[in-house]
Chains A and B, each alone.
Chain A
Amino acid sequence: MAPLGSTRGDTDQVLIDKNLFVRTLVLNRPRQLNALSSQMISKLLELFLAYEEDSNVKLVIMKGNGRAFCSGGDVAAVVHDINRGNWKIGAKFFWEEYILNYVMATYSKPQVSILNGIVMGGGAGASVHGRFRIATENSVFAMPETALGLFPDVGASYFLSRFPGFFGEYVGLTGARLDGAEMLACGLATHFVPSARLSSLEAALHKLDSSDPAIISAVIDEYSLQPYLKDKSTYHRLDIINRCFSRRTIEEILSALEREAVKSADDWISSTIQSLQKASPTSLKISLRSIREGRVQGVGQCLIREYRMVCHVMRGEVSKDFVEGCRAILFDKDKNPKWEPSRLDQLNDSMIDQYFSRVDDEEWEDLKLPARSSYTASALAKL
C-alpha cells in the first residue's frame, strides 16, 4: 500500500490511502481496537462529505488497523463526561456519530468495508449502512449494548430489524456474537472473502474507475466464497428464535424461551436466557421497542429516535445503568453490574415512554439530518 498525501503520524487516528479513484480509510487506534473517538468521527464525516463532492473519488474503502475493524464508539470517554456532569458533551459525540451513520446510509458512492476482525456497536454503524460489507473468517460481530446499560444504536434499530425473521431481536437483545458466515447469512455482510485473499482483492479494487455497484460487486465476487455455517451456528436455530423473539414483550420472550427450555434441555437456550437475565432490564425494554419501531421506519427516523434515547440514557432520569454498566465492564471490570431498576416488572410503560420523548431541556434539540443531494431511495426515512 502506498500512502499518498496523508499527514501520517502515530497520532493519526484515521489513515488515508489514495489510489487513483479509490480512497481507503484506515481506522487507526489499534490498542483501543479502533474504538471511534470523537476526533475519528469528525475526520470520517469530513472525508466522506468531501469525497462525495470530489469527482475523482469513485469508491471508498474502510478497514481497521490490527485485529479489529472497530470495536465501537469510545463510550469510556462519554461516561467520563457524564460523571463530570457533562452529558451534553456526550450528546455531541452521538450527534456526530449518528450524522456520520446517516451520511453513510445515504451515500451516493459505494462504500466497501472490510470487516476482518471485531465489528461491534459503533463499528457496525460505520460499516453496515454502506453498500458492501466484506466478512472474513476473522470477523466477530456483536451489538453488546444491553450488557453495558445502553441499547443498540448507530442505526441498529434499522438494520437489526431487517434481519430475517426475528434474528435481529435475538442479536440486539442478547449481544450474541456472529461469525463471518453468520454475518453473510443474515445480510450483515454482502460478501465473504478469506483473509488471505484480501490484499489481492484490495489491489483489484484500487484499479477501479467506476462507482457502478454491479461492477464493484463483480470484482468482489471473484474473491468471494460461500462459507459454511458451523453445525453449532445459532443461525440454524432460526425457528426457535422466531418463535420466541417474535413475542410482544421482553417478559413474553423470556417465558417463551423458558417454555422451550422445558421442552428440550439445550445449552443454547439456557445461555440465551442467561444473557437476557444478565442484561440491564431497562436496556432490554427500550432496545426491543426501538427495534420494533425501527422495523417500520426509515433509517433517518431511526437515528432521530435513537438520538432521543441516548440522550435520556446519558441523563439517567429513569436509570443510570449506562454508567453502572461501563463501570462494571470497562473500568472496574468486575463484570457484576448492579442494575437499577433491577427487575423487568419494576419498569412501567411511562418509564419506557420517557426514553422516546423529547428531552426536556431548553438547549436540546432533535437530531437534525443533513439535507442529502442524492438519497438512495431505500434509505429514505418516511416517518
Chain B
Amino acid sequence: MGSPSPADQVSRRAQALAGHLRGLHTSMEPSLSPSPCLQYSPPELASPPSDFNLSDMRKLMDGHNLQDRDWLFGLMIQSKLFNPRVAGGRVFVSPDYNQSMEQQREMTMKRIHYLLDCGVFQEWLTGRGPEVEMRKFALHEVIGMYDHSLAVKLGVHYFLWGGAIQFFGTKRHHDKWLRDSENYVIKGCFAMTELGHGSNVRGIETVTTYDSKTGEFVINSPCESAQKYWIGGAANHATHTIVFSQLNINGKSEGVHAFIAQIRDTDGNICPNVRVADCGHKIGLNGVDNGRIWFDNVRIPRENLLNSVADVSPDGQYLSAIKDPDQRFAAFLAPLTSGRVTIATSAVYSSKMSLAIAIRYSLTRRAFSITPNQPEVLLLDYPSHQRRLLPLLAKTYAMSFAANYLKMIYVKRTPESNKTIHVVSSAFKAILTWHNMRTLQECREACGGQGLKTENRIGQMKGEYDVQSTFEGDNNVLMQQVSKALLAEYIAVQKRNRPFKGLGLEHMNKSCPVVPSQLTSSTLRSSQFQTDIFCLRERDLLIRFAAEMSQLQAQGLSREYALLQSYQLAEDLGRAFSDRAILQTFLDAEAAVSSGPLKSMLSLLRSMHVLIILEEDASFLRYGYLSPDNAAGIRKEVTILCSELRPHALALVSSFGIPDAFLSPIAFNWIDANSWSSVQPQQGATVPLQI
C-alpha cells in the first residue's frame, strides 16, 4: 500500500478547508463581531463566599503578633527602598534580583538600616522572655516573605552572633556587646563552618592557644581547609565575628570553644592578621555577603572567650563546670536551635506564598475546552491540577501548626526540654524545608511559563530557599540524629524497664493499635485511624530499627558502623516520627477551635494531609501497615478530598494573610499586567489612588 501522492494530500486538505470555511461562514454570518478575547475575571467572582471566617483562620495560622506583622508589612510596602513596582494597576514589592550581587548586598544593608530606624529590632537582643521572642519570630517571618536574603542577613546578626553572645557569653559579654549589636553599631557574623568541616563541627581545624604573658588568646587557621567558609556578613559588612575553634591549653586540646574577634574597624578596613575573601556569586541569597576568613595569629583579649561553659584563668588554667566534653559540646550547639526554628517557620511562609500565587493563578487561567465551543477549563478544575496543588496546601496547613508548636516549645524552653527541642527542631526543620522545596517546584510548574518570570517570585524562591536544606544542619544529618535519639530512648526504656516518656513516644506504652482491614471513607477521615496508623508505623519502625541494630552489633559491628548500615530503617523512622509529631500539632490546634465551619475545614485539611502521606510514603505498603486494596482506597479518597477542597481553595490561600503586594502579577490581573499599554511610558502626572 503506497502513501497518497502529495497532490492528493493537497486537494484533500483544500477540500477540508473549504468545508470548514463554508460551515464557518454560515454559522458566523449573523455576528461578524470579533470573537471575544480572554477576559481576566478575578477568582473572587467565581468562588463562593467562604463559610469559615478568613480572619479567624489567619489568626490560627499566624498564631501570634498579627498587628506587629501587619505593621511591618506596611513599613515595607510604603517604602521606596523595598522596590515597589506597578503591574496591572497594583503595587508589588520584591527585591530587584536583576541587580548585581554587590548591589543586592548594599540594598539588603540599606533595608536593614531602614527597619532599624523604624524600631523593628527593638528588644531583639536586650529584651528577654517568651513575648519578646515570639514578636521577634513574627517580624522575622514577615521579613523573610519579602526577601530571604534580608531575613538571613538579619538572622546571622541577631540569632547567631547575638544568640552566641546571649547563650555562650556571661554578663560581661552581655553588657559589652548586646546593646550595640541590637543597634547595629556592631555588625556581627558567626564563623563556625570551615572549608573542610560543616556538619562535623567537632572536626574543625582552627586552633586557639593562650598566651598567659599578655593575657591573650591567639587564633590560627593552620591550613587551607581550616578557612572559615560561607560566613554570612563576612565578605562586606561584619565588624566582628564569633570564631569557633579548638582550644589548646598547655598542649591539651579542650575541644571546640567560641571567641569574639574583631575583623573590621569602624571604617570597614580589614583588621591586621585577618584575611577575608568572598564566596562569590551563588544560586540564590546574593543579597547576603558570604565570605571566607583566615586567621593568622590573631590576638584577642582573654575576656573574649565566651565563657558560660568553660573559662581560662589569667594564668592559663582551663576551668569548666561541664566535665564531659560531649555535654560541653552539646551546650555549644544550643544557639543553632533558634536558627533551626526560624528556618522551619520561614519555609512554611515560603510555601504559603508560592501556593497563594499558584492557586490564585489556577483560578483565573484556563486551558483547553473539553467540549467544542465551550469556554476553556480553569486550571484548578482539572482533577490532575487539584491533585498537584491541594495536597501541598493541606500539608502546608499542617506544617504551619508544626512550626507554631516548635516556636512555642522553644520560647518556653527549660533545661529539661532541651533534648525534645533538639529532636523536634531537627525533624521539623528537615521536613518543613523539604516540603517547601517540593512545593516551590510544583507551584512553579503549575504556573507554566509565567512561573519562570522572576517577577512572579516562585521560580526565584527556589534558588533563594534551596540553602535551607543545608544550613544550620544538613537535613539528612538532622534526620539521622532524630532516629538516633529515638533509638537511644528505646534502649534506655528497655534497659531501665520504665515506660516511654517524652518525644511523644508515650503511645508505645499502650498496646499496639489495630488498623481495620476494611477502610471506609469515614474511617479514613477519623482522627483515631489517622493517629493509629502513624503510631503503628513509628512503633514498628523503631522496634525494627532497634532489632536490626542489635543484630548487626551481635555480628560484631560497632554501634557507629551498624548505624551506617541501618540507614534505610533510620530514614523511614525519622519520617515516621516527624509525621506523627506534626499530626499531633494539627490535632492540638484543631482541638482548640470550637465547633463550626472553621473546625470542619481543619478536619478536611487534616484528612488530606494524612491521606496524601499514606498514599505517597512507600513505607506503609513496604512494611504492610496498609494492604494494596486499602492503598487503592486511599488513593481514591484523595481525589474525593481534592474535589471537596476545590471550592475552598481561594479562601484557604487568602487565610494565609499575605498582603497582595507580597504576591505577584499572575496572582491578579495578569492580562492587564502584560498589556501593551503597560509597557508604554505613562502619560500625564495624575495617577489614581487605586492601588
Q: Do A and B bind each other?
A: yes
Which residues of A line the B interface, CB within 8 A?
128, 131-133, 159, 161-162, 164-166, 184, 187-188, 190-191, 217, 221, 224, 226, 242-243, 246-248, 252, 289, 292-293, 295-296, 298, 375-383
> Given A377-B88, A378-B90, does the pair A296, B70 have CB atoms closer than 8 Å?
yes
- B489 contacts A by Cβ under 8 Å: no
Minimum Cβ distance to chain B for residue A322 (Å): 23
Contacts of A162 in B (CB 8 A): 689, 691
- Complex Cα spacing A133 to B78, Å: 22
> Given A248-B119, A382-B654, A383-B58, does the pair A217, B71 have CB atoms closer than 8 Å?
no
A380 x B44 contact (CB < 8 A): yes
Minimum Cβ distance to chain A for residue B326 (Å): 44
B78 x A164 contact (CB < 8 A): yes
Chain B stretch 78-119: residues in CB contact (< 8 A) with chain A: 78-79, 88-90, 117-119
Q: Show 23 A/B contacts (Cβ-Cβ < 8 Å), sorted by A.
A: A131-B690, A161-B74, A162-B689, A165-B79, A166-B78, A184-B686, A187-B687, A188-B689, A190-B688, A226-B685, A246-B78, A247-B118, A247-B119, A248-B71, A248-B119, A292-B71, A293-B67, A295-B73, A296-B70, A376-B690, A381-B44, A382-B660, A383-B58
Contacts of B668 in A (CB 8 A): 377
**A295 contacts which of B74, B117, B685 (Cβ < 8 Å)?**
B74
- Complex Cα spacing A381 to B672, Å: 19
Contacts of B691 in A (CB 8 A): 162, 378
A190 x B89 contact (CB < 8 A): no
Contacts of A246 in B (CB 8 A): 75, 78, 118
- B659 contacts A by Cβ under 8 Å: yes
> Given A246-B118, A377-B668, does the pair A295, B77 have CB atoms closer than 8 Å?
yes
- Complex Cα spacing A166 to B684, Å: 25
A128 x B689 contact (CB < 8 A): yes
- B628 contacts A by Cβ under 8 Å: no
A296 x B659 contact (CB < 8 A): yes
- B657 contacts A by Cβ under 8 Å: yes
- B68 contacts A by Cβ under 8 Å: yes
> Given A293-B70, A295-B73, does the pair A383, B686 have CB atoms closer than 8 Å?
no
Chain B stretch 18-74: residues in CB contact (< 8 A) with chain A: 40, 42, 44-45, 54-55, 58, 67-68, 70-71, 73-74
A375 x B42 contact (CB < 8 A): yes
- B307 contacts A by Cβ under 8 Å: no
Minimum Cβ distance to chain B for residue A354 (Å): 14
- B669 contacts A by Cβ under 8 Å: yes
A377 x B42 contact (CB < 8 A): yes
**A380 contacts which of B42, B79, B655 (Cβ < 8 Å)?**
B42
- Complex Cα spacing A159 to B88, Å: 18
> Given A375-B44, A383-B654, does the pair A217, B684 have CB atoms closer than 8 Å?
yes
Q: Mark B337-348, 1 if CB is under 8 A from A, else 0.
A: 000000000000
**A131 contacts which of B44, B79, B688 (Cβ < 8 Å)?**
B688
Contacts of A243 in B (CB 8 A): 117
**A190 contacts which of B55, B78, B687 (Cβ < 8 Å)?**
B687
- Closest residue of chain A to B660 (Cβ to Cβ) is A382
Contacts of B40 in A (CB 8 A): 377
**A165 contacts which of B54, B71, B78, B685 (Cβ < 8 Å)?**
B78
Minimum Cβ distance to chain B for residue A351 (Å): 14
Contacts of B688 in A (CB 8 A): 131-132, 187, 190
- Complex Cα spacing A295 to B687, Å: 19
**A248 contacts which of B44, B45, B68 (Cβ < 8 Å)?**
B68
Contacts of A165 in B (CB 8 A): 78-79
- Closest residue of chain B to A382 (Cβ to Cβ) is B654
Contacts of A226 in B (CB 8 A): 685
- Complex Cα spacing A56 to B573, Å: 71
- Complex Cα spacing A248 to B688, Å: 28
Contacts of B684 in A (CB 8 A): 217, 221
> Given A165-B78, A295-B73, A295-B74, does the pair A191, B657 have CB atoms closer than 8 Å?
no
- Complex Cα spacing A164 to B691, Å: 11
- Complex Cα spacing A379 to B74, Å: 18
- Complex Cα spacing A94 to B77, Å: 30
- Closest residue of chain A to B650 (Cβ to Cβ) is A382
- Complex Cα spacing A190 to B690, Å: 10
